[in-house]
Amino acid sequence: MKALVFSKIGEVKIADVADPRIENEKDAVVKITATSICGTDLHMVRGTMAGMRPGTVLGHEAVGIVESVGDEVKNFKIGDRVVVCSTIACGECEFCQAEDYSCCDNANPKGPEAGTAFFGGPELTGPFNGLQAERARIPYADFVLVAVPATVSDEDALLTSDIFPTGYMAAEMGDIKPGDTVAVFGCGPVGQMAIASAKLMGASKVFAIDTIADRLAQASQQGALTINYSQIDPVKTLKSLTNGFGPDCCIDAVGVDAQAAHSGPAKPGMLENIANTIDQKMMAPHSVGSGDQWRQGDAPSQVLMWCVEAVRKSGVVSIVGVYPPQAKFFPIGLAMSKALTMRAANCSHFKYVPKLLKMVEEGKFRPSEILSKVERFGDAVECYKHFDKREPGWIKVELLPGQKAAAAK
């Protein structure tokens, strides 16, 4: 079958790979009917999430149809339409019982301390082949697949595979109560879902920080007040818009590939530049090259710093932007002296996906509103390049397999 594989840092390609098969009685094989590209995939191709095994199929967001099931799969049968949760969990260990699925003790073959198991990730996450393929093997199918209600579209289900639950979890970890003020750093797909979720939870004001015009415009369309960090200082602006206090909650929806301000008052000085360079080298010692393609973040801990500086005293910083295990810089002194609460996690998808699909079914929210491109799977490599460069219009890309025509939105 055809699949999108990681070949080396700075290179993905479509390749012929072996068809997946049932390897364990709890497995299912799913024929993928739609998949999408995520900011997490970009960290891996840029090399800021290291340790990818060449030949690994990328991708962890998909909807599809169950094609075969192992004897121990109880909840699914051939022909069921399903959304695939990005993270893999056994459903039975102590952590899964507590709905901390991203902490599952059994799913990761590298052991209980190795971290979250997910599709299409680096060596330490399994590794498991991903979902940007014609078919995928789904381990622990009963706790990784969720049935899609008949009235929910493939597009809405696809965005509930990862980014909607992640944005929702970010808002939930932020302890947002009606009337709260919330700042969301990063207006990529995850940031957009965090903005929507903060509003669903009753935030009175949501501030959205980025520097890419169409992403800020999308945030503004959702009712957020936007801050372009290359034009104005985000920390000072957030303070001045919240009576000098700072927002009740700051959400990091950027992660390790954060870029410093390259113009305006927030542009780093010489000493900060040196610190950023050290920080960057610790994260990704092997640069991919020059130019705009696969450009690594030049200030990996910039957003963490802004979140801690901007949030009100005794407020909450909620981190869903991804950082690799070697990330070591966090402004702990300031956080401590401001009495902050900090939460950070990979999404426990299976906890959220059923609930969020129900919200979609009831018409409370349509995550597919942020889908900006629908393209052929055969063009996936080009799509990766456009999304990586954050080109106008490339906020979220759905890839359709086979000959299905691209119905650009």
Ligand X SMILES: NC(=O)c1ccc[n+]([C@@H]2O[C@H](COP(=O)([O-])OP(=O)(O)OC[C@H]3O[C@@H](n4cnc5c(N)ncnc54)[C@H](O)[C@@H]3O)[C@@H](O)[C@H]2O)c1
Binding site for Zn ion (CB under 5 A): 38, 40, 89-90, 93, 96, 104, 106, 162
Q: Under a CB-based contact definition with an 8 Å cutoff, are residues 59 and 37 in contact?
A: yes
- Determine the Cα–Cα distance for residues 57 and 7; give it in Å rounded to an integer: 9
The region of 1-9, 147-155, 237-245, 314-322 touching ligand X under the rule CB under 6 A is 314-322
The verdict on 162 binding ligand X (CB under 6 A) reads yes
Task: Fill in the amino acid letter for 140.
Answer: Y
Residue placing its CB nearer to ligand X in the complex, 81 or 267: 267
Q: How many residues touch ligand X (CB under 6 A)?
A: 34
Task: Label residue 143 exposed, middle or buried (CB < 10 Å: 0-12, 13-18, 19+).
Answer: buried
* Whether the Cβ atoms of residue 99 and residue 345 lie closer than 8 Å to each other: no
379-398: contacts with ligand X (CB under 6 A): 390
Q: Which stretch binds ligand X (CB under 6 A): 72-80, 106-114, 162-170, 241-249?
A: 162-170
- Out of 130, 321, 367, 401, the only residue in the binding site for ligand X (CB under 6 A) is 321
124 binds ligand X (CB under 6 A): no
The residue number with the shortest CB distance to Zn ion is 38
Of 66, 171, 173, 320, the one binding ligand X (CB under 6 A) is 320
Residues 23-82 contacting ligand X, CB under 6 A: 38-40, 42-43
The least CB distance from residue 227 to ligand X, in Å, is 9
Binding mask 250-279 for ligand X (x = CB under 6 A): ---xxx--xx--------------------
Does 300 contact ligand X by CB under 6 A? no
Question: Given the complex with ligand X, which of 134 and 252 has the nearer CB atom?
Answer: 252
Among ligand X, Zn ion, none, the one that 254 touches (CB under a kind-dependent 5 to 8 A) is ligand X
Tell me: does residue 322 bind ligand X (CB under 6 A). yes
Please say which residue, 38 or 353, places its beta carbon nearer to Zn ion.
38
Q: Which of 135, 137, 205, 215 binds ligand X (CB under 6 A)?
A: 215
Residue 235 sits in the site that holds ligand X (CB under 6 A):
no
Is 347 an interacting residue with respect to ligand X (CB under 6 A)? yes
Residue 218 binds which entry of ligand X, Zn ion, none, with Cβ cut-offs from 5 to 8 Å by kind?
A: none
Q: How far is the CB of 189 from ligand X (least distance, A)?
A: 4
Tell me which residues touch ligand X (CB under 6 A).
Answer: 38-40, 42-43, 162-163, 166, 185-191, 209-212, 215, 229, 253-255, 258-259, 302-303, 320-322, 346-347, 390
